[in-house]
Chain A
């Protein structure tokens, strides 16, 4: 961090905690950036002349006579087309050995879009995965997380979705990524020849956790530049938001705030909403779509982090290993895309909504039949047919390694209906049955 002439240097710290330090200073703005012995810090509390700074990398080794310099500005990112293809740390400094990016300085975490200046999301994002395209269709301007246990292949699925979606820019915000996963993303993007469309802001597990708090804002400031200024379609990947929330709780804890549910700060909902609500479709064409990962602790979605996330995002996607077919599928029961109603049956074939619902309902019947079987009861003929259907549905449509277009998915679903059920059992609007029931 360069020091300019005439900047006042403070050298008398009055209080140090694990994450913060305080000193006497005047004329300081709230949320202003500072350096403490060269480490970046931000103003989190002002009380008279007493200024409390949150030191992002922690206060280990900070002496009471450390040099504190206030930078006179909130955290910023230099934006420009040169961002494309580059890798940065949480502060927006290059970590790929390349030169610093020159461009306009923008405050991160800036104001939100006036709701009346948004456009209703309306463009379908095709991924080729039936668990998504058929049952939980994604739309530009949407925000949706994968709810996954740490052992599930969410990073792989997310990379796959990112590459198949036709986005102008893909921005990766990595929070607490292991170095291996970071390199995985880098490789996958590189191999796909997509590196020039990718911008990454990465905080790995080797970096201090509190730094993560800057990553989503950095990624989304870059995203707003490309989506709003350049009218591009931008896809933002945030992984892992649970580690972001953990960092929030560390900070609030050190600021002596009263914790609410699951030791999370009371403002968790607002903190997360500020990030996710940056997803937007602009009327002029650009859009920001956010796909995030929220890792769960053994599938518990009632924990404060996934729970608050679910209330903010427009649906959620669950991955599950289907033991019948030995493959990972997108769980049709618990997954949901709230915006799918805007495109299904409109940008896809008219029978899409009804076929989707009927298939999931029959799949649910199969699950009941399975429970019956496990409890040692006899199965009816219908039960057995639903179970055969479920296995084929899972294998030929839901598995994430299937890559087909939506019309094919619909035809396949009708084929499975015809193979296993009567028309009454499927119970779909007559006009569609007349058109598509296999002859």
Chain B
């Protein structure tokens, strides 16, 4: 590291968390600085420079700050610390470890170390002297919870390096050197288990980013069956308040088939984060038998925490995800809610008196959102292994109106659209994902289609599309019935409508609070879709339309009891037999 003399400055103006600093030397855009408030250091980021004035956004409250106070610039952008010991931690948006902070209330200017660099880890070397390595190459590994945490060539290293020496297997402190690399300049560099990286710059330590093709199971039927997300895919969940965004996100974080879950609670309710703190250490991860918290890391910038750090929080979360992806892991990143992040951008743009775009959001909002979503993806690493970040963000559209800038910009960037509908939420049809409006672009990917036919069944895609079609026809029939009246349409319309209701009640609706129904493995989803389509393809005979409704209610009721029973259990089979009887009552000859 070069020993530059640090630039300093003097506070010359304050408007809320925008502070204007008179600078005495060079500063760079997005550089971090500390404002000295009579002994308390407030962290801030440069967001604009005008002559000798640097505009900085302060990550804390500026109450009591005075003109004339001193500012010290740090010479680097906002960075996160990467190394073993990140998992299961609760960080704030700037990667301060919340558990290490003293007292019940957050104190301004208190910054805590994200990881304990004195902690010792059992190191196993993976590289040997003479190996040619690049940024992101694996030098060794340590066990962090149950995952093999790779110790990598720091991402800041450019060009090819030669391994000069690697420590033998043994126990080392995170901060002590585990390898020596010779650089392109013939100089030797020591590498420890810890490195730093600026959050706003993507980590590109991979060789290739192909189109994603592997299904990522979530246990949520309306996603897995109807609108599947893939490993390395992107999706977003827009919905008005009360439509079940948070419940759906929590279900994903509990059930998704990922190695690691990173949750960025971005400007949302503190009690929702507390729910994760409280419940996840108790819940089992069915895949590993360990506690869910062991694979979960939380970046919490709740709505009452400083607004400027809200923007940082999503970048911090993404950077941690990229770090673990480079170890060859499947990472699921959830951000709730990206609208709050956009609002933080708006507040700042407003204070800087920039010309506003639609709804007073900054003009470059679509670009910011799409370059953020682009950081997700499935990658081939330098050594041929693979890793992925699947990113699902929620959007909180103002007034539930999907034609607002954040939703529209996100729609262009994300490939899955899980639209939550107020109407479905009102009639308690949860998860309230609209079956008609929602989509997964991945269903159109030949790569995924091939994967589905190999891993589920050859006719799976056909069945899914058939179910979608029945839903659409059911909706049309329902509209006709509403216009023409129950007796104004042929019985066939009632049948069409009720068949779509069977799919709705049995496949689409799922009780997130029932221990059995909450998560459905893909095998069971396949079985149930087959059963339901069996009913839909059966011809029934009825005398009048009045008979249709009570009959199908019975079918739905038995199906629901099946959903509540363990798969293939006695109860399950009992209800299945009961279902067959009911079907046979009315089966057309």
**B108 near A115: Cβ-Cβ < 8 Å:** no
**A382 near B550: Cβ-Cβ < 8 Å:** yes
- Measured CA separation A26–B485 after assembly (Å): 77
Nearest Cβ distance between residue B558 and chain A, in whole angstroms?
Answer: 8
A261 within 8 Å of B by Cβ?
yes
Which of A29, A107, A376 is packed against the most chain B CB atoms within 10 Å? A29
Within 8 A of A (CB), among B267-304: 267, 269-271, 273-275, 277-279, 300, 302-304
Given A30-B66, A113-B270, A361-B427, does the pair A120, B106 have CB atoms closer than 8 Å?
Answer: no
**A302 near B343: Cβ-Cβ < 8 Å:** no
Within 8 A of B (CB), among A345-390: 353, 357, 360-361, 364, 372, 375-378, 380-382
Q: Which residue of B lies closest to A49 (CB)?
A: B67
Contacts of B70 in A (CB 8 A): none
Q: Which residue of A lies closest to B404 (CB)?
A: A261
**B66 near A302: Cβ-Cβ < 8 Å:** no
Which of B273, B399, B427, B560 is packed against the most chain A CB atoms within 10 Å? B399
- Measured CA separation A316–B241 after assembly (Å): 10
**A48 near B67: Cβ-Cβ < 8 Å:** yes
Nearest Cβ distance between residue B347 and chain A, in whole angstroms?
Answer: 5
- Measured CA separation A269–B577 after assembly (Å): 54
Interface secondary structure of B, over-half rule: mixed
Q: How many residues of A contact B (CB 8 A)?
A: 81
A326 within 8 Å of B by Cβ?
no
Which of B99, B305, B346 is packed against the most chain A CB atoms within 10 Å? B305
Contacts of B61 in A (CB 8 A): 111
**B560 near A427: Cβ-Cβ < 8 Å:** yes
Contacts of B67 in A (CB 8 A): 26, 28, 46, 48-49
**A120 near B274: Cβ-Cβ < 8 Å:** yes
Nearest Cβ distance between residue A368 and chain B, in whole angstroms?
Answer: 9
Contact segment of A78-86, A95-103, A189-197, A305-313? A305-313
- Measured CA separation A380–B546 after assembly (Å): 7
Nearest Cβ distance between residue A75 and chain B, in whole angstroms?
Answer: 10
- Measured CA separation A307–B356 after assembly (Å): 22
- Measured CA separation A117–B102 after assembly (Å): 10
B375 within 8 Å of A by Cβ?
no
State which of A113, A302, A338 has its C-beta within 8 Å of the C-beta of B401. A302
**A303 near B399: Cβ-Cβ < 8 Å:** yes
A412 within 8 Å of B by Cβ?
no
Within 8 A of B (CB), among A232-257: 257
Contacts of A424 in B (CB 8 A): 550, 553-554, 557
A23 within 8 Å of B by Cβ?
no
A168 within 8 Å of B by Cβ?
no
Contact segment of B12-20, B131-139, B177-185, B448-456? B12-20
- Measured CA separation A364–B424 after assembly (Å): 12
State which of B13, B62, B98, B428 has its C-beta within 8 Å of the C-beta of A361. B428
Question: Could you mark each residue 100-138 of chain B with 1 if its beta carbon is under 8 Å from any beta carbon of chain A, else 0?
Answer: 010111111000000000000000000000000000000
Contacts of A303 in B (CB 8 A): 399
Q: Which residue of A lies closest to B345 (CB)?
A: A266
**B513 near A341: Cβ-Cβ < 8 Å:** yes
Q: Which residue of A lies closest to B108 (CB)?
A: A111
**B360 near A260: Cβ-Cβ < 8 Å:** yes
A-B pairs with beta carbons under 8 A, tally: 206
- Measured CA separation A301–B240 after assembly (Å): 11
Question: Could you mark each residue 547-584 of chain B with 1 if its beta carbon is under 8 Å from any beta carbon of chain A, else 0?
Answer: 00110011011001100100000000000000000000
Contacts of B64 in A (CB 8 A): 29-32, 74
Contacts of A118 in B (CB 8 A): 270-271, 274
Contacts of A110 in B (CB 8 A): 105
Q: Which residue of A lies closest to B546 (CB)?
A: A380
Nearest Cβ distance between residue B292 and chain A, in whole angstroms?
Answer: 15
Nearest Cβ distance between residue B322 and chain A, in whole angstroms?
Answer: 25
Question: Could you mark each residue 259-279 of chain A with 1 if its beta carbon is under 8 Å from any beta carbon of chain B, else 0?
Answer: 111000011011001100110
**B12 near A48: Cβ-Cβ < 8 Å:** yes
**B274 near A115: Cβ-Cβ < 8 Å:** yes
Given A121-B271, A312-B303, A377-B486, does the pair A27, B513 have CB atoms closer than 8 Å?
Answer: no
Question: Could you mark each residue 10-43 of chain A with 1 if its beta carbon is under 8 Å from any beta carbon of chain B, else 0?
Answer: 0000000000000000111111100000000000
- Measured CA separation A341–B12 after assembly (Å): 51
Within 8 A of B (CB), among A324-354: 333-334, 336, 338-339, 341, 353
- Measured CA separation A310–B242 after assembly (Å): 8
- Measured CA separation A266–B427 after assembly (Å): 33
A435 within 8 Å of B by Cβ?
no
Contacts of B523 in A (CB 8 A): none
Q: Which residue of B lies closest to A361 (CB)?
A: B428
- Measured CA separation A116–B281 after assembly (Å): 13
- Measured CA separation A320–B270 after assembly (Å): 30
State which of A30, A112, A372, A375 has its C-beta within 8 Å of the C-beta of B106. A112
Contacts of B106 in A (CB 8 A): 111-114
A119 within 8 Å of B by Cβ?
yes
A47 within 8 Å of B by Cβ?
yes
**B63 near A307: Cβ-Cβ < 8 Å:** no
Contacts of A334 in B (CB 8 A): 426
**B305 near A29: Cβ-Cβ < 8 Å:** no
Contacts of B62 in A (CB 8 A): 30-31
Within 8 A of A (CB), among B46-70: 61-68
**A116 near B90: Cβ-Cβ < 8 Å:** yes
Question: Could you mark each residue 238-280 of chain B with 1 if its beta carbon is under 8 Å from any beta carbon of chain A, else 0?
Answer: 0011100010000000000000000000010111011101110
Nearest Cβ distance between residue A14 and chain B, in whole angstroms?
Answer: 16
B350 within 8 Å of A by Cβ?
yes
Contacts of A273 in B (CB 8 A): 267, 303-304
State which of B66, B90, B98 has its C-beta within 8 Å of the C-beta of A27. B66
Which of A308, A378, A424, A430 is packed against the most chain B CB atoms within 10 Å? A424
**B557 near A427: Cβ-Cβ < 8 Å:** yes
- Measured CA separation A278–B353 after assembly (Å): 31
- Measured CA separation A413–B557 after assembly (Å): 19
- Measured CA separation A118–B269 after assembly (Å): 12
Nearest Cβ distance between residue A273 and chain B, in whole angstroms?
Answer: 3
**A260 near B359: Cβ-Cβ < 8 Å:** yes
B330 within 8 Å of A by Cβ?
no
- Measured CA separation A120–B278 after assembly (Å): 7
- Measured CA separation A228–B103 after assembly (Å): 12
Nearest Cβ distance between residue B302 and chain A, in whole angstroms?
Answer: 6
State which of A228, A339, A361, A375 has its C-beta within 8 Å of the C-beta of B271. A339
Contacts of B560 in A (CB 8 A): 427
**B63 near A29: Cβ-Cβ < 8 Å:** yes
Within 8 A of B (CB), among A145-182: none
**A312 near B269: Cβ-Cβ < 8 Å:** yes
Contacts of B44 in A (CB 8 A): none
Contacts of B99 in A (CB 8 A): 116
Nearest Cβ distance between residue A247 and chain B, in whole angstroms?
Answer: 17
- Measured CA separation A30–B37 after assembly (Å): 11
Nearest Cβ distance between residue A118 and chain B, in whole angstroms?
Answer: 5
- Measured CA separation A430–B564 after assembly (Å): 10
**A382 near B63: Cβ-Cβ < 8 Å:** no
**B271 near A380: Cβ-Cβ < 8 Å:** no
Q: Which residue of A lies closest to B505 (CB)?
A: A427
**B400 near A267: Cβ-Cβ < 8 Å:** no
- Measured CA separation A114–B101 after assembly (Å): 8
- Measured CA separation A377–B545 after assembly (Å): 14
Contacts of B550 in A (CB 8 A): 382, 424-425
- In the complex, besides A46-B66, A116-B101, A377-B485, 6 extra interface pairs with C-beta distance below 8 angstroms are A29-B66, A119-B278, A259-B360, A307-B399, A310-B241, A338-B242
7 A-B pairs closest in CB distance: A302-B399, A273-B303, A277-B304, A310-B241, A260-B360, A112-B304, A29-B64
9 contacts across the A-B interface (CB closer than 8 A): A31-B62, A31-B64, A46-B67, A47-B13, A261-B360, A270-B343, A277-B270, A378-B487, A381-B546
- Residues in chain A within 8 A of chain B (CB atoms): 26-32, 44-49, 74, 107, 110-121, 141-142, 228, 257-261, 266-267, 269-270, 273-274, 277-278, 280, 282, 301-304, 307-308, 310-312, 314-316, 333-334, 336, 338-339, 341, 353, 357, 360-361, 364, 372, 375-378, 380-382, 424-425, 427, 429-430
